């Protein structure tokens, strides 16, 4: 039996294959090659670009997200609540995943902050990928607006397994990597 996971499910099948070596093959589709925090930052970057924000504003939002991720990682809820309140004044705030925090009290943020980082955003698939014995077929689309396909491809390539194949399909680069 093999495992196929699409989008966030790609991270799930990677972890499942690490935990259950009886899985015969793994197919992560449009995801799974970068930590969740990086995919979320990339999604925000692409969303802001698509909605017409200028490059300076996009960079400002990316930097702000890194600051938020740092505070989530460290569990500094008071500083996080203060930063989110400040960021709420920026025009781009509503167009990012950070808007989910809008209106939450510092107490609620404190309860959730460290858990959000530990349980979800900090997940890095590379250690699990390095411990999977099953063959992996990674399917990624270059023009994906939610997952940085090129970065994912580099992560999969870091596995240094032989037999990687890269294919082009139509106007969209489609990477199919066999390990």
Q: According to the model, what pLDDT value does residue 169 have? A: 36
Sign of CA dihedral 37, 31, 176, 49: negative
Alpha carbon of residue 52 to chain centroid:
22
Q: What is the pLDDT of residues 103-146, one digit of tens each?
A: 888 788 877 877 888 888 888 998 888 888 888 888 888 788 88
Q: According to the model, what pLDDT value does residue 102 have? A: 82
Token pair, residue 60, equals 């400002």
Q: Is the pLDDT of residue 175 over 90?
A: no
18-33 as b/e: b if 16+ CB within 10 A = beeeebebbbbbbbbb
Q: According to the model, what pLDDT value does residue 176 have? A: 53
Q: According to the model, what pLDDT value does residue 166 have? A: 37
Q: Give the residue extent of every domain in the chain.
A: 3-34+124-178, 36-121
Q: Which residues contact 93 (CB under 8 A, 6 or more apart)?
A: 87, 99, 102
Q: According to the model, what pLDDT value does residue 116 have? A: 83
- Look at the pTM and tell me if it is higher than 0.85: no
Once rounded to an integer, what is the mean pLDDT over residues 92-110? 85
Q: Which strand ranges, in their side-by-side order, compose the sheet holding 26-29? A: 3-6, 26-29, 137-141, 172-178, 167-169
> Nearest CA to 11 among 45, 38, 34, 43?
34
Q: Report the range of poorest mean pLDDT among 4-13, 83-92, 99-108.
A: 99-108
Q: Is the pLDDT of residue 165 over 60?
A: no
Q: According to the model, what pLDDT value does residue 168 have? A: 34
Once rounded to an integer, what is the mean pLDDT over residues 94-102? 88
- What's the CA gap between 95 and 44, in Å, rounded? 8
Higher pLDDT, 173 or 124: 124
Q: What is the pLDDT of residues 40-84, one digit of tens each?
A: 999 999 999 999 999 999 999 999 999 999 888 887 788 888 899
Q: Which residues contact 68 (CB under 8 A, 6 or more apart)?
A: 80, 83, 84, 87, 98
């Amino acid at each position: 039996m093999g495992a196929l996971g699409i989008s966030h499910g790609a991270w799930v099948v990677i972890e499942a294959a690490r935990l259950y070596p009886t899985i015969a093959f793994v197919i992560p589709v449009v995801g799974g090659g970068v930590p969740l925090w990086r995919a979320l930052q990339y999604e925000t970057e692409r969303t802001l670009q698509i909605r017409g924000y200028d490059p300076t504003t996009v960079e400002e939002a990316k930097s702000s997200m890194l600051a938020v991720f740092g505070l989530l990682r460290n569990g500094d809820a008071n500083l996080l609540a203060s930063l989110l309140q400040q960021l709420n004044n920026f025009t781009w705030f509503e167009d990012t995943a950070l808007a989910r925090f809008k209106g939450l009290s510092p107490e609620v943020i404190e309860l959730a902050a460290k858990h959000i980082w530990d349980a979800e955003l900090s997940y890095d698939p590379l250690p699990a990928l390095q411990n999977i014995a099953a063959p992996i077929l990674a399917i990624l689309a270059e023009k994906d607006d939610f997952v940085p396909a090129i970065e994912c491809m580099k992560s999969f390539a870091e596995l240094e397994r032989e037999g990687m194949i890269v294919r082009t399909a139509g106007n969209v680069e489609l990477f199919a990597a066999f390990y």
